[in-house]
Amino acid sequence: MTDILSVARLAGVSRATAARAFSDPEKVRASTREKIYAASEQLGFRPNYVARQLRTQSTRIIGVMLPTLSNPVFSEQLQAMENVARAAGYALMVATTDYDPERETAVLENLLRQRVDGVALTVADAEHSPCLQLLAQEALPAVLVHNPSASAHFITVSVDNQKAMYKATRHLQKLGHRRIGMVAGPFQQSDRAQLRYQGYCQAMQKAKLDALPLIEMAHHTRVDSERLQPWLQGDAALTALVCSNDLLALSAIGTLQRLGYKVPKHISVIGFDGIALGEMVSPALCTIVQPQRELGIAAMESLMGLIAGIDITSRRLDFSLRKGESVARPPLIDKLPGNLS
Amino acid sequence: MTDILSVARLAGVSRATAARAFSDPEKVRASTREKIYAASEQLGFRPNYVARQLRTQSTRIIGVMLPTLSNPVFSEQLQAMENVARAAGYALMVATTDYDPERETAVLENLLRQRVDGVALTVADAEHSPCLQLLAQEALPAVLVHNPSASAHFITVSVDNQKAMYKATRHLQKLGHRRIGMVAGPFQQSDRAQLRYQGYCQAMQKAKLDALPLIEMAHHTRVDSERLQPWLQGDAALTALVCSNDLLALSAIGTLQRLGYKVPKHISVIGFDGIALGEMVSPALCTIVQPQRELGIAAMESLMGLIAGIDITSRRLDFSLRKGESVARPPLIDKLPGNLS
DNA sequence: TTGTACGCGTTATCAG
DNA sequence: CTGATAACGCGTACAA
């Protein structure tokens, strides 16, 4: 591939002038600029960003680290981030971790070696993440997405997971549900799942109900029929399920229907995230809606602010409860508990 | 950030030796190697990939260009690609185009400037893609994913879209359906949608039935109720719908149910892609299953082969029909047409 | 406005 | 086994 020197020669100018024509066009007379562009065209010259990056000590690349792209929450967020990054002239380097702390550090290390200008990342568990300790030692602009801002060192963009799940659970209680269970994926792995469980517990306590142990699935996004069934039988059968994410909730609804339960007639199901698909299926999923695209946009804008040296603070975005069609009053005449506000 | 020269100085060796200790450890005596590692540790040295890239003329970065990440088909594929790339020591630079040809060329141009070692891309329409013309002029290793290999210049990894949709439509016909419609997103944009429509037409013709005009939606993944309704009424009301992708199919099912139609009792729906969610919902989606992860894996492996200089040919992967629960015999006593094999 | 000259951090080629 | 040195392609003081 031709380099800028050949272009300069063909245009009959010095290397410096040719370089300027690309990096700082104002600084060169229009007529010579045209000659340079023509020569460049003719030779099929294309600026070498690697060389530029080395010289300017800035890559205009942003590193993005995510648990997985198989969950629409993250791929939507990535899509939003990509849009604003590209519009601002940044490229994205993307890597996934599958909630594995070791992979998190490996990925981050790689991003650092690539000399990305900043990173936007979602870690499995911000409290015990070796990767964040690594990051804390570096001066690299960074924004955590989704993770609670427990570690006050980092800029975070998130919603209040605990409060959101509290609200979801209260919603069920107000409809008369008393035996409400929560299902989640591998629990210890995700700090968000933990916060959501706390929100659930808090709501149960508020209503003077027993917070049940978490119904833990092997997979983050799929319900195992066998693990669910015990909770559906007998006197203490659940009348409602809160799920730690929408994919789990949709999977739960499908599983329940296949087991012969009608949703929401026999059992109510509520999700968390607000993925687009939840609205399209029937029954439409009742869920906590996180502003996924806004999260991505806000994260990218904060990050670009940091890179520009602007003072940035953590942001907490609003969530909402979408009613959908997967929730109704409990089936049996379940006398309302005294203590509902 | 410290560079390798400082490490060398601290270790009391030359820059060359220090560099060797990292790139080719065998070539340096164990004792001095240890001194170098110690110095490196102490200074917090981290290899600068940008400099390495400039020197070696190889970035070990692969560019990935996709229409969107909002469709699980692409995000799953990306996830698979990321896994194999990372395992092989490649990083991924990702950009989306939203089916816009101009954005396609802009994105590709940027990837070229970044000097990626290869690209894996899915374009909206391979036949009329300025971006592919651009690519054809470069010597860059490239693999097209999903796109038909019409342009024989390129290595392609795909399934036979036409044949797949033919099979889906025949499946409906064999169950007794005669009035079958096909719904798709913005049609001209996607070469795959066009091939799928051809498959549908071919199947209708084979059964001596009228191929109906495409029912075109404004969005690639969402059904507009108003555009659908005219096809559901009167004597010629459709008894089955084939959809150009799964999101559209799920959306169609939701819409139909909300309009009071039962799926599959009143109307059958069949999708295309085989996204995971299709299996989880109820009724489970009947669909053509593309091996999404395999597509991603095969594409990446082919690309890495190309980069390594190995001879690679296009690959066509197998699809299958998943029966699901969203398809049944047509509701009315619809006399079977004579001509079903 | 244009040209000269240096450096960004590595790796590769040669000698020693 | 180790060291000196020249690239890689570009941006930018500084001088003209």
Q: How confident is the model at residue B337 (pLDDT cuts 50, 70, 90)?
A: very low
**Residues 85 through 104 of chain A touching chain B, CB cutoff 8 Å:** 86, 91-96
Interface size, chain A vs chain B, as Cβ–Cβ contacts under 8 Å: 139
Judging contacts by C-beta atoms under 8 Å, the chain B residues touching residue A261 are none
The pLDDT value recorded for residue A1 is 75
Q: How confident is the model at residue A151 (pLDDT cuts 50, 70, 90)?
A: low
Q: Give yes or no for residue B282 having a pLDDT over 90.
A: no
Q: What is the mean pLDDT of chain B?
A: 92
Q: Using the 8-state DSSP alphabet, how is residue B120 labeled?
A: E
Calculate mean pLDDT across residues B26-43: 91
Q: Is the peptide bond before A330 cis (omega within 30 degrees of 0)?
A: no
Cβ burial, residue B152 (10 Å; 0-12/13-18/19+): exposed
Q: Which residue is nearest to nucleotide D8 (CA to C1')?
A: B55
Q: How far apart are CA A244 and CA A165, in angstroms?
A: 9
Calculate mean pLDDT across residues A20-24: 88
Over residues B46-80, the pLDDT tens digits come to 999 999 999 999 999 999 999 999 999 999 999 99
Q: How far apart are CA A280 and CA A328, in angstroms?
A: 19
| Contact indicator for B227, B182 with CB cutoff of 8 Å | no
Q: How confident is the model at residue A332 (pLDDT cuts 50, 70, 90)?
A: low
Is A320 part of the contact surface with chain B (CB cutoff 8 Å)? no
The pLDDT value recorded for residue B333 is 52
The pLDDT value recorded for residue B27 is 86
Closest to B207 measured CA to CA, from B162, B165, B243, B172: B172
Cα–Cα separations (whole angstroms), residue B5 to B8, B24, B26, B46: 5, 17, 20, 12
Q: Backbone phi, then psi, for A88, in 5-degree steps?
A: -95, 10
Q: Give yes or no for residue A16 having a pLDDT over 50.
A: yes
Over residues A69-82, the pLDDT tens digits come to 999 999 999 999 99
Over residues A33-67, the pLDDT tens digits come to 999 999 999 999 999 999 999 999 999 999 999 99
The pLDDT value recorded for residue B23 is 84
Calculate mean pLDDT across residues A312-330: 96
Calculate mean pLDDT across residues B76-103: 97
Calculate mean pLDDT across residues A257-265: 92
The pLDDT value recorded for residue A338 is 35
Over residues B99-151, the pLDDT tens digits come to 999 999 999 999 999 999 999 999 999 888 899 999 999 989 999 999 986 66
- A49/B113 touch (CB, cutoff 8 Å), yes or no: yes
Q: How confident is the model at residue B261 (pLDDT cuts 50, 70, 90)?
A: very high
Min distance A204 CA to chain B CA atoms (Å): 29
Residue A56: both structure tokens together: 């300017």
Nearest C-alpha in B relative to A60: B114
Q: How far apart are CA B244 and CA B286, in angstroms?
A: 13
- A50/B258 touch (CB, cutoff 8 Å), yes or no: no
Q: How far apart are CA A156 and CA A340, in angstroms?
A: 34
Q: Using the 8-state DSSP alphabet, how is residue B222 labeled?
A: B
Q: How confident is the model at residue A335 (pLDDT cuts 50, 70, 90)?
A: very low
Terminal Cα distance for chain B, rounded: 72
Sorted by sequence, the CB contacts under 8 Å of residue B205 that are 6+ apart come out as B211
Q: Give yes or no for residue B334 having a pLDDT over 70.
A: no
Residue type, position B27, single letter: K
Lowest mean pLDDT among A286-295, B198-207, B277-286: B277-286
Q: How far apart are CA B327 and CA B335, in angstroms?
A: 18
- A61/B93 touch (CB, cutoff 8 Å), yes or no: yes
The pLDDT value recorded for residue B151 is 65
Q: How confident is the model at residue B13 (pLDDT cuts 50, 70, 90)?
A: very high
Residues A66, A70, A74, A77, CA torsion sign: positive
Calculate mean pLDDT across residues B260-289: 93
Q: Give yes or no for residue A123 having a pLDDT over 60.
A: yes
The pLDDT value recorded for residue A231 is 94
3-state secondary structure of B337: coil
| Contact indicator for A199, A169 with CB cutoff of 8 Å | yes
Residue B250: both structure tokens together: 């799920």
Q: Give yes or no for residue A341 having a pLDDT over 50.
A: no
Estimate in Å the CA B185 to C1' C16 gap, whole number. 70
The pLDDT value recorded for residue A127 is 86
Calculate mean pLDDT across residues A1-20: 91
The pLDDT value recorded for residue A150 is 62
**Residues 140 through 199 of chain A touching chain B, CB cutoff 8 Å:** none
Share of chain B above pLDDT 90, in %: 83
Ordered by where they begin, the domains of chain B are 4-55 (1.10.260.40), 58-160+292-318 (3.40.50.2300), 161-290 (3.40.50.2300)
Sorted by sequence, the CB contacts under 8 Å of residue B34 that are 6+ apart come out as none
The pLDDT value recorded for residue B152 is 74
3-state secondary structure of B215: strand
Is A56 part of the contact surface with chain B (CB cutoff 8 Å)? no
- Give the other-Cβ count within 10 Å of A39's Cβ: 21
Query: Which nucleotides of chain C are near protein (any atom < 7 Å from a CB)?
Result: 1-5, 7-13
Q: What is the mean pLDDT of chain A?
A: 92
Q: Give yes or no for residue A339 having a pLDDT over 60.
A: no
Over residues B210-236, the pLDDT tens digits come to 999 999 999 999 999 999 999 999 888
Cα–Cα separations (whole angstroms), residue B102 to A86, B98, B139, B158, B177: 14, 10, 21, 24, 41
The pLDDT value recorded for residue B280 is 84
| Crossing angle (nearest 10°) for helices B15-23 and B30-43 | 90
The pLDDT value recorded for residue B281 is 84
Q: How confident is the model at residue B341 (pLDDT cuts 50, 70, 90)?
A: very low
Nearest C-alpha in A relative to B253: A281
Q: How far apart are CA A151 and CA A136, in angstroms?
A: 10
Q: Backbone phi, then psi, for B93, in 5-degree steps?
A: -110, 120
| Contact indicator for B116, B59 with CB cutoff of 8 Å | yes
Q: How confident is the model at residue A260 (pLDDT cuts 50, 70, 90)?
A: very high
The pLDDT value recorded for residue A152 is 74
Closest to B83 measured CA to CA, from B297, B294, B295: B297
Calculate mean pLDDT across residues A81-85: 98
Closest to B75 measured CA to CA, from A160, A275, A305: A275
The pLDDT value recorded for residue B155 is 95
Q: How far apart are CA B218 and CA B256, in angstroms?
A: 17
Over residues A162-221, the pLDDT tens digits come to 999 999 999 999 999 999 999 999 877 788 999 999 999 999 999 999 999 999 999 999
Segment holding B72, helix H or strand E: helix B72-87
3-state secondary structure of A279: helix
Q: How far apart are CA A193 and CA A111, in angstroms?
A: 27
Q: How far apart are CA B58 and CA B115, in angstroms?
A: 8
Calculate mean pLDDT across residues B199-203: 97
The pLDDT value recorded for residue B204 is 97
- A282/B258 touch (CB, cutoff 8 Å), yes or no: yes
Over residues B291-307, the pLDDT tens digits come to 999 999 999 999 999 99
B60 in contact with nucleic chain C (CB within 7 A): no
The pLDDT value recorded for residue B150 is 62
The pLDDT value recorded for residue A48 is 96
